[in-house]
Amino acid sequence: MTAIPHDYAERVYAGVLGKLIGVYLGRPFEGWTYERILKELGPINYYVHDRRDVALRNHQLVVTDDDIAGTFVFPRALADNDYPCDLTAEQIGQTWLNYVVEEKSIFWWGGIGSSTEHTAFLRLKSGIPAPGSGSMALNGRTVAEQIGAQIFIDGWAMVSPGNPEQAVYLAEQAARVSHDGEAVHAAKLLAAMEARAFVEDDVEKLLQVGLDFVPKGSLIRRVVEDVRDWHAGDNEHDWRRTRALIAGRYGYDKFAGNCHVIPNHALIILALLYGQNSFQETMHIVNTSGWDTDCNAGNIGCLFGIRKGLAGLDAGPDWRTPVADRMYISSADGGAAVTDAVIETRALVVAGHRLAGAAVPAPSKNGARFHFSLPGSLQGFVCESDAPARLHPLTVENVGGRLAIGFRRLAPGRVARVATPTFFGKDGLAMPTYQMVACPTLYSGQTVTCHLAADALNGSSVTVRLYASVFGAGDALTKIHGEPHAVTTQADLTLTWRLPDTGGYPIFDIGLEIEAQDFRGADGTLFLDWLHWNGAPDVTFRRPDPTSEMWKHAWMNDVSQFQTRWEGMRVTSSGGLGMLAQGTRDWCNYEVAATVTPLLAESWGIAARVQGRTRYYALVFDRAEGGRVRLVRQRHDESVLAEQSFAWSLDQAYALSLRSEGRMIRASIDGRIVFEAQDEALTGGAVALLVDTGSIATEAVRVRPV
């Protein structure tokens, strides 16, 4: 049993934040040279995403990125396989097939032989299991030794506090899904350092721990030793001098491929040695140095966060508030895409305890989704007001594990709001390179509950109520509201609101609305202790109007075509099984129903408790034996729970339903129960329409709790 550090959760949280900050900082100028950065941006000392005078990749801070998605998706292989210490490359490859949406999510889809991850995915899809999928023998040295294995390793280290052996084992298994050779050595070295950083702060000692897991004749070892020697001999402590030496010996021009691991690994070691105990200087060095800036800054940011904790991140400029913990993990598990650093920290901490054989700590505040228990956490909550910016009356900060919402001179008739996203906005459709694949996290029929306290209202009178923003006709955001509640000094109240039917439109955010009630205005502070919702929704998914598009993007789309001109929803898969899914893993006991018409298909049906592309229960029709219907469980491999002959016909509508309640799975066709089975492999998940090599159509998909 590995001892878990007393501050494990906070150190993981700092590592997650360091990763996010580094990626968001380096992403806008990813791939630029040192010379171009100095010429067009100057030294990188803070976020530059909002620079409009330079041709940056994007002008949003929080964006989709492979460094973030891969880092936090792939460790889900642990939970999906019940946390085995001997997790294999083959099992992690199966995780790829479950969570990756081909040509859409997580990776740069640059083509076989060009994008390493795209190449490996196609190998896996064709039936070549990992580690063969990433082998140099199959894919060649150039493809196998690019940077991806290194950029995805942080999660494996964060589930292995103080245990570099475990981190290295897991990182190598994960790396070999897609990479080989020096790329795997780099991943192992970084994983070892990050795992050891939970219990060791000294940079030189960490480097030696990493080197202990790297072959003596490897190029990665030579790179590290060269950068160490150059740093040791640098009496002026000028990182620019050492960077020039790196460029001369290990620059991009020395290696084939799009983004080789060796030059970028050298820059990580450069920033580690010269940045030492300053997060500001570490970020400055690794980003100003250029090349794969978001990857390099993300890795070194995570290592720094683990080493120095939250205090280290907070010792300079305010890096955290602009991020507000926000992150996107675009994957086939669409309900987990809109997330935050606190939620992802909890998943890693649970895995770390399970792997260590230690008791898992109880979730904070009875498992509330938003609990603000980690120091400084905001969990995506930001201010909004209908007042002009110069008169903005709100502030939001974390005070003692609660969200402190301060308001000053809030004028009568003015409304101030604080909210967190439950889906992405229209600007998410323009995120470059990495497509946003996500489902909302909140739905009609679910009940939102929060606990509030008030302090020092200075005699003011305010009302507070829950509200949500909903995409309406033409994708315009409209607000819906819960009941208002009067708040006085020392108030302590719980608000509860069941979300009304939104008519098929997705919910964009959830928050609190504050309004002054008398002519004097209002000053004071409200404390949001926690906010939560759970349970299955009561919702009908349909085309709400012909002018809206965001409702379509609320589906996890893994099909060839999703058209809405005719029946409402027509779903097409041109080759192989396609899936159109919506919902979250919090949905446990519910019934999904749809009247579906097969227009042309080898097989088709509906699914429940969907946890990605290869994890679900489904009622499936196919052409075998003159036509049959089956109740199946997919958990990478298919298990048939029940089956019977059923002579279905093209162009005929069938009313289908799947009811999942506890262990019981019940399937109906045209109002008649055809299957009942018990199974406990999958406890919750989204709903989906399935079609293999053809098209199906439906007007609506209905979900209701049971």
What's the pLDDT tens digit per position in 487-532? 877 778 999 999 999 999 999 999 999 998 876 777 888 999 999 9
**Which of 80, 102, 99, 100 has the alpha carbon at shortest distance from 91?**
80
Q: 410: pLDDT confidence band, cut at 50, 70 and 90?
A: confident
693, 575 in Cβ contact below 8 A?
yes
510, 444 in Cβ contact below 8 A?
no
What's the pLDDT tens digit per position in 283-338? 999 999 999 999 999 999 999 999 999 999 999 999 999 999 999 999 999 999 99
Q: 413: pLDDT confidence band, cut at 50, 70 and 90?
A: confident
The C-alpha angle 129, 130, 135, rounded to 5 degrees, equals: 115
Say whether pLDDT at 2 is over 80.
Answer: no
What's the pLDDT tens digit per position in 228-274? 999 999 999 999 999 999 999 999 999 999 999 999 999 999 999 99
Average pLDDT rounded to a whole number, residues 184-205: 98
Around Cβ 27, how many Cβ atoms within 10 Å? 30
Q: Which class is 8-335 in CATH?
A: mainly alpha
pLDDT at residue number 110: 96
**What distance in Å separates the CA atoms of residue 51 and residue 28, rounded to the nearest whole number?**
10
Say whether pLDDT at 430 is over 90.
Answer: no
171, 187 in Cβ contact below 8 A?
yes
Tokens of 406: 């301060």
Measured torsion, CA atoms of residues 240, 291, 136, 432, in degrees rounded to the nearest 10: 160
Phi, then psi, of 41 in degrees rounded to 5: -120, -30
The answer for residues whose C-beta is within 8 angstroms of residue 53's C-beta and 6 or more apart is none
Tokens of 216: 């003596």
Q: Of 69-83, 349-363, 399-413, which range is least confident?
A: 399-413
**Which of 282, 236, 289 has the alpha carbon at shortest distance from 266?**
289
Q: 162: pLDDT confidence band, cut at 50, 70 and 90?
A: very high
pLDDT at residue number 459: 64
406, 394 in Cβ contact below 8 A?
yes
DSSP state letter for 390 = G
- Domain(s) labelled CATH 1.10.4080.10 in the chain stretch across 8-335
Which CATH architecture describes the domain 555-705? Sandwich (2.60)
SS3 271: helix
pLDDT at residue number 458: 65
Say whether pLDDT at 37 is over 90.
Answer: yes
Q: 1: pLDDT confidence band, cut at 50, 70 and 90?
A: low
The C-alpha angle 167, 100, 702, rounded to 5 degrees, equals: 125
What's the pLDDT tens digit per position in 124-144? 999 999 999 999 999 999 999
Phi, then psi, of 43 in degrees rounded to 5: -55, 140
pLDDT > 90 in the chain, percent: 90
Say whether pLDDT at 388 is over 60.
Answer: no
34, 329 in Cβ contact below 8 A?
no
Say whether pLDDT at 170 is over 70.
Answer: yes
Say whether pLDDT at 386 is over 70.
Answer: no
Average pLDDT rounded to a whole number, residues 186-205: 98
pLDDT at residue number 46: 98
- Domain(s) labelled CATH 2.60.120.260 in the chain stretch across 382-534
Average pLDDT rounded to a whole number, residues 363-375: 98
Q: Give the predicted TM-score (pTM) of the model.
A: 0.97
Q: 392: pLDDT confidence band, cut at 50, 70 and 90?
A: low
11 vs 410, more confident: 11
**What distance in Å separates the CA atoms of residue 465 and residue 525, rounded to the nearest whole number?**
15
Mean pLDDT estimate for the chain? 95
Q: Does domain 382-534 have CATH number 2.60.120.260?
A: yes
Q: Angle 293-313/182-196 helices, nearest 10 degrees?
A: 10
Q: 385: pLDDT confidence band, cut at 50, 70 and 90?
A: low
What's the pLDDT tens digit per position in 441-460? 999 999 999 999 987 666 67
Q: Show contacts of 32-37: CB within 8 Å, 24+ apart.
A: 32/290, 32/291, 32/293, 33/290, 33/291, 34/243, 34/247, 34/288, 34/289, 34/290, 35/290, 36/290, 37/287, 37/288, 37/290
pLDDT at residue number 320: 98
Tokens of 405: 């919402």
Average pLDDT rounded to a whole number, residues 413-441: 92
Around Cβ 128, how many Cβ atoms within 10 Å? 16
